[in-house]
Structure 1
Amino acid sequence: MKKLRNLSYAAAVLLVTSATSCKKQLEEYNPHSGTAENLWNNPEGFKSLVNSAYQELHFLYGQEDGFFLLETGSDLWYSAGRSGYARQIVYYEALQPGQGQTTKAWTSFYKSINLCNAGINRIDDANFTNETEKNNRLGELRFLRALYNFHLVEQFGGVMLKTKESADGVDLYAKRNTPEEFYDVIISDLEFAKNNLPVSWPAAEYSRATKKAAMGMLAKAYLTRAYYSTGADAQSWFTKAKDAAVELINNRTALGTDLFQTFKEVGASVNASTAARATNKEALFVLAYSQENSALNALTGANGNRIFKWAMTKYRDRPGMENAYVNAYGVDNEQRVMPTWHLLDLFDETKDVRYSASFQETWFANKVHTWTAQHNPVANYGKDASVIGKTINIGDTAMRCKKGDLGYDGKVVPWMAVGSSDLYINPVHGQGAAIDPGKVITNYFPSLIKFMNPNRTWTGTTDFADAMIMRLAEVYLIAAEAYVGLGDPAGAVPYVNRIRERAALTPGALDVTAADINIEFILDERAREFAGELLRWYDLKRVFHDQSKWVEYIKKWNPDQTLIEPYHWLRPVPTAELNTLLNPKEFGQNPGYLQP
């Protein structure tokens, strides 16, 4: 048998498709090779291993696959215009083992965990003479292993928990571990990271894991772990989550973090200069996509950050509009998802600044357009024929896609005009509403612009904003959710109101009391604060461990979700993995999917 190289686990980076080739392995990179042994036996060489452990974060954060896996399939997003793109994730349509995003996730997580394990198990051979430096590097690896294991167990459930690297061979008889066993390792890793990571790194390496990142993730791990328990055990975990979150909040100055004064600064911060990004005070952990700083190259994805594109409406070739990569409108024609009515309805834009800071409703013309009969305005744009002969000049309104009613007859104005009743069927406040497929203008919708770069100069189809993985605002809502879990909504009030005070257009306009706060309120508030930040799928999965209630909640707010089933609460184990194992039936597929 050839040596196994660059393993995730078993065949996580390997397709084995027949019984006669079940021992054939993929040769790429062997942690036990002479090259690795020589490279990692000194502190500077070992740092290259640590740098590599960050790489697979680029599979999720700032990328299309991450947006689908972590945001869609929830209450907040429809497929744009009910397109067929990635419906196995967005709508759970024919989701089965071996499909793209889920298989790539499995491979990515195990590949990264294996690399972290290689470093954790070998750090004593790296000849560190400075114990603090050694523990810093070990803290990074254990933080990253915890983060990858968090994704793994929340996506796939109780699969294989690996704490040793796989290099010279593989145990083809796999054993499942429980989610609780995963969280034992995740929490132990994060506790070590909290105690050993530095408060900050040099500015050129600002995107490395720090003490505040470990503290934030630890609070989230405690909170998530609480929902795997009941009774007194759950209360103990909620208490740990509350205490961890409050500790971070109370020590935010010493840790170099705080909330921005305005919500809009959150989005602006990831598009700032490299120097400014290094002092992003609300960020607990970001993934760098900087074009400017070569010192970050080892931590930067080659394809750039593309997260800003997927929830934008199409504007290219619309009346008065043309594609303009270098402006605030950004890259066009790659829309993948659109907001549900529920997501838009969660905002009271007369009180909450987060709506206007998160969504774009108005586009101004960047070319002259005069309507003619050739444009077929009735059939193509839902307009009245009376617009023929009218002109849109540069700088005029060209498109309006409003959350609510237009307040005027959108058929007769010269610009594209779309209101909620043009997009959704019976969009009533406090109720879910499906997309209206009978309208010709379904593909126009308020666009998520939270992380759009308003000073964009790059003409490519990607951008180089940092990807926000965790920020301090989430810790406030973790504290609030933990108080709710403890049956103490009054304890949640100051943490919720601190977030809402920043969001309020006028002081006090969004303040709430204990009577307002329950778990559904927390979910609503997290949607308002973190829409598009790759948190929603985990938020719902965390809160609704009763899978029937998970389905019920999503269907209530997203009526387009007609195919979701309770078993979709977990993703399927890839076919490649099961085909490689010698005990596939014993290991088993996750419930509901095609069994081996």
Structure 2
Amino acid sequence: MKTSKLLYMSALLAGTLSFTACELDEYNPSGGDANITNYNAWRGLQAYCYSPLNEGLFSEFNFLSVAEGGTDMFENPSKDYAQEVFFYEGLTPSVQAPKVTFNQAYTTISTCNAVINHADEVEGADKDILVAEAKTLRAYYNLVLVTYYGPVTLSDEDISTGIINTRPKRNTVEEFYTAIIKDLKEAAAVLPVQPLDGNYGRVCKKTALGLMARAYAQGAGEGLSEDGVSYWMRAKDTAEELIKNASSYNIYLYDDVSDLWAQANNRNNPEALFIVSGVDANNESANYMSVNRNQLTFTFCNPNKLEDLYKIADKSNYYLGRVNNNAMAPTPYAIDVFDASWDKRWENTFMTAFGTFSMVTPGWLKYDNYGVEITQALIDKYGMGQQFLGDSIRPYAEINAIASTYKGNQYDFVGAWPKGGYAAHHADPANLITGIKNPFVIDYPVDVDDDRFAVVLSKDYKTDAEKAQSRYFTVNIRDLFDGNQYKRQPFDGTNSYQLYPSLIKYNWLYNGVSEGSNLQRRYGDIMVMRTAELYLIAAEAWERLGDAEQGRKYLEKLRNRAARPGTQAPALGTITEETILDEYAREMAGEYCRWALLKRHHLLGERLKRFNSRAAESFDESIHYCRPISNDFLQQIDNRDEYGDNGYGTTPTKGY
């Protein structure tokens, strides 16, 4: 496994200054009298511009819930946690997820400003590149703000001065996008093709240009143009420039989508345009990073809810991790949009077959530890075939434990046990199936005689008689729903209602990615933007420009690489807006982009009515196309009532 060279070690230099480095979820960092003209101090401050990426936005559940919640693709399956962002119920400026997201983006802009403003006062060989990085990051944070919060403030605060604007004025949406594009153009002209010092945690030329394509597309949804040219045309031109000249920009697209999500390719993934690099738990730098990357615990269901069948305590699941928060599950649309008969993106996006594990290699857990004998009581309760009475369900995964100096034990997927363990003992690691790209990707469909899974959620509807052909408990995914909402109560006499297809894009299992016994956290790399999005933007822009056929080749490229062996992607019919939205859903599910996509097409309300009825009940077209302004921000300015909260009722007006 190739490990990352972490950027954030240099951020320690910022701690040597007398700047008051506030917590990232606080508004208004203050400055001091440190000599920012010292190159090392200035460079340390520049590194701090990256801090909210790994220590906030892409480390916790807050931004993910803001970016994917309240859409046609995800809802809360079993409880009312974060119902404000998933269902627009009680959404106010004090709600944590949008508040923290706003704070983390807004406050760091003052650090970017300081780096840019004082560049002329320092001397250093890499100065121009570092400034270009700061401009790229400033553009990204401003894009987050204008996308999710609308016409807020283009902050000109500078952390080095300690001067805070307590009476900020809102900028227009057009002013935001003009500033964003200007920053990205200037950055792209300077940034190298390869990241500075070979550190892939830094932004580079393809990052700036990729974000420019995204910004043009998002701004196009606001009806913007540049020098008389539609932003849709600019988005198309930028995306196509990168696609057509990929080698010049070090841009790559995997031929096989399963390689994209292979564990071996998580670090420094070549398809990434913008990476938030994770902690390497085998490196001393891990001791100096504050990262709580816990998305997995919110996006997985907990099969231990069927504790008589899946006998692993949640706190001890070294395979799946501790999946006890269970807050984000796919809607029927997000499930039905995949045709699993040909599309490997289905199992590379969602886990639907849940097995246990052994730890024979380190001598921790014997192969038989989590074996479950199929009794008559289990057959009667779960509907497995009578012919399997007396047989057993055996482990799927073999996990190794490796001592590590810095973050405690590391856990590594060694391989999968072959099926048939009920008949012949397979405890010898020599029998393991190795070369599996991703331990959470279970090949579709699961054989009916497979004895390595306790429960399988079936995308294809099965009758009771068809379920009885299986050794495992079979749950029809459609039975989990009442209309397009999860039932949230037993419907078959079991706890199956608490299960759901589980997003696997933020779960990793390899040496260097774990935090010892804290099984809620895993520190893999996250791709903020990747090449496939350029293909989608190009197709989307062509469709919006009225010539959808020109975008066909970009969609077909993504579909063809997703076809499983022995199949081919079906031919696309007439390409419409719906076609574009569906292909985004298949390719980018859970990747922090759905809410923004539906906003720029102004389809949030319409899609919720069709695919997320609970959210539709509270969605207000006049308010909910902007998330609420952070209450922390509003409480620290003197013109709160004038500034407005985007229409959420805590100030007299929206403010725009």
Task: Report TM bin, short chain.
Answer: 0.7 to 0.9
Give yes or no for the alignment of 1:344 onto 2:360.
no
Q: Is this contact kept in 2: 1:392–1:398, CA < 8 A? A: no
User: SS state of the match for residue 303, structure 2?
Assistant: coil
Give yes or no for the alignment of 1:139 onto 2:135.
no
Q: Deviations over 1:394-441 (max 9, x none)?
A: 242311112231354488666332112321235xxxxxx222345242
Shift of 1:45: 2.8
Give yes or no for the alignment of 1:331 onto 2:322.
yes
Shift of 1:508: 8.1
User: SS state of the match for residue 71, structure 2?
Assistant: coil
Structure-2 residue corresponding to 1:464: 523
Q: Aligned to 1:150, which of 140, 143, 149?
A: 143
Give yes or no for the alignment of 1:111 onto 2:104.
no
| Backbone CA RMSD of aligned residues | 3.2
Taking structure 1 as reference, are residues 236 and 296 closer, same or farther at Cα in structure 2, changes over 3 Å only? farther
Give yes or no for the alignment of 1:200 onto 2:194.
yes
Q: Is this contact kept in 2: 1:114–1:164, CA < 8 A? A: yes
Taking structure 1 as reference, are residues 365 and 550 closer, same or farther at Cα in structure 2, changes over 3 Å only? closer
Q: Is this contact kept in 1: 2:459–2:478, CA < 8 A? A: no
Shift of 1:108: 0.9
Distance 2:335 2:206 in 1: 32
Q: Deviations over 1:474-509 (max 9, x none)?
A: 001111111111101011011111111111236883
What letter is aligned with 2:41?
A: G
User: SS state of the match for residue 299, structure 2?
Assistant: coil
Q: Is this contact kept in 2: 1:241–1:479, CA < 8 A? A: yes
Structure-2 residue corresponding to 1:520: 578
Give yes or no for the alignment of 1:353 onto 2:344.
yes
Of stretches 454-463 and 158-167 in structure 1, the one that deviates more from structure 2 is 454-463
Shift of 1:448: 1.8
Give yes or no for the alignment of 1:475 onto 2:541.
no
Q: Aligned to 1:13, which of 14, 26, 40?
A: 26
Gaps of at least 5 residues in structure 1 are 15-25, 427-432
Q: Aligned to 1:74, which of 51, 71, 83?
A: 71
Shift of 1:186: 0.5
Taking structure 1 as reference, are residues 333 and 578 closer, same or farther at Cα in structure 2, changes over 3 Å only? closer
Q: Is this contact kept in 1: 2:235–2:541, CA < 8 A? A: yes
Distance 1:8 1:302 in 2: 11
Taking structure 1 as reference, are residues 155 and 593 closer, same or farther at Cα in structure 2, changes over 3 Å only? farther
User: SS state of the match for residue 248, structure 2?
Assistant: coil
Shift of 1:115: 0.6
User: SS state of the match for residue 284, structure 1?
Assistant: strand
Taking structure 1 as reference, are residues 507 and 402 closer, same or farther at Cα in structure 2, changes over 3 Å only? closer
TM-score, normalisation: structure 1 = 0.84
Distance 1:525 1:388 in 2: 41
TM-score, normalisation: structure 2 = 0.77
Q: Is this contact kept in 2: 1:158–1:178, CA < 8 A? A: yes
Structure-2 residue corresponding to 1:393: 393
Q: Deviations over 1:443-469 (max 9, x none)?
A: 112222234325467343211210110
Give yes or no for the alignment of 1:49 onto 2:45.
yes
Distance 1:443 1:77 in 2: 15
Gaps of at least 5 residues in structure 2 are 1-17, 358-369, 396-450
Q: Aligned to 1:541, which of 599, 604, 608?
A: 599
Taking structure 1 as reference, are residues 592 and 99 closer, same or farther at Cα in structure 2, changes over 3 Å only? closer
Shift of 1:557: 1.3
Distance 1:151 1:377 in 2: 51
Q: Aligned to 2:271, which of 277, 282, 307?
A: 282
Mapping for residues 185-334 of structure 1, pairs under 5 Å: 185-201=179-195, 205-229=199-223, 236-268=230-262, 271-272=263-264, 277-278=267-268, 280-291=269-280, 301-316=289-304, 317-323=307-313, 328-334=319-325
Mapping for residues 332-481 of structure 1, pairs under 5 Å: 332-366=323-357, 367-370=370-373, 392-395=392-395, 396=451, 397-409=453-465, 415-425=472-482, 433-438=484-489, 439=491, 440-455=495-510, 458=514, 459=516, 460-461=518-519, 462-481=521-540
Shift of 1:388: 12
Distance 2:554 2:467 in 1: 45
User: SS state of the match for residue 186, structure 2?
Assistant: helix
What is the percent sequence identity of the aligned residues? Answer: 28
Distance 2:90 2:67 in 1: 19
Q: Is this contact kept in 1: 2:98–2:628, CA < 8 A? A: yes
Distance 1:411 1:493 in 2: 40
Taking structure 1 as reference, are residues 496 and 371 closer, same or farther at Cα in structure 2, changes over 3 Å only? closer
Q: Is this contact kept in 1: 2:113–2:156, CA < 8 A? A: yes
What letter is aligned with 1:550?
A: L
Q: Is this contact kept in 1: 2:59–2:295, CA < 8 A? A: yes
User: SS state of the match for residue 249, structure 2?
Assistant: coil
Of stretches 320-329 and 396-405 in structure 1, the one that deviates more from structure 2 is 320-329
Structure-2 residue corresponding to 1:486: 545
Shift of 1:334: 2.9
Shift of 1:197: 0.9
Report how many residues are paired: 551
Distance 1:328 1:261 in 2: 28
Structure-2 residue corresponding to 1:568: 624
Q: Aligned to 2:568, which of 509, 514, 533?
A: 509
Shift of 1:127: 2.1
Distance 2:651 2:388 in 1: 59
Q: Deviations over 1:550-593 (max 9, x none)?
A: 21212211223232222121111233333333322222221243
Structure-1 residue corresponding to 2:365: none
Q: Deviations over 1:366-385 (max 9, x none)?
A: 41234679x8998xx66699
Shift of 1:344: 0.7
Taking structure 1 as reference, are residues 80 and 267 closer, same or farther at Cα in structure 2, changes over 3 Å only? same
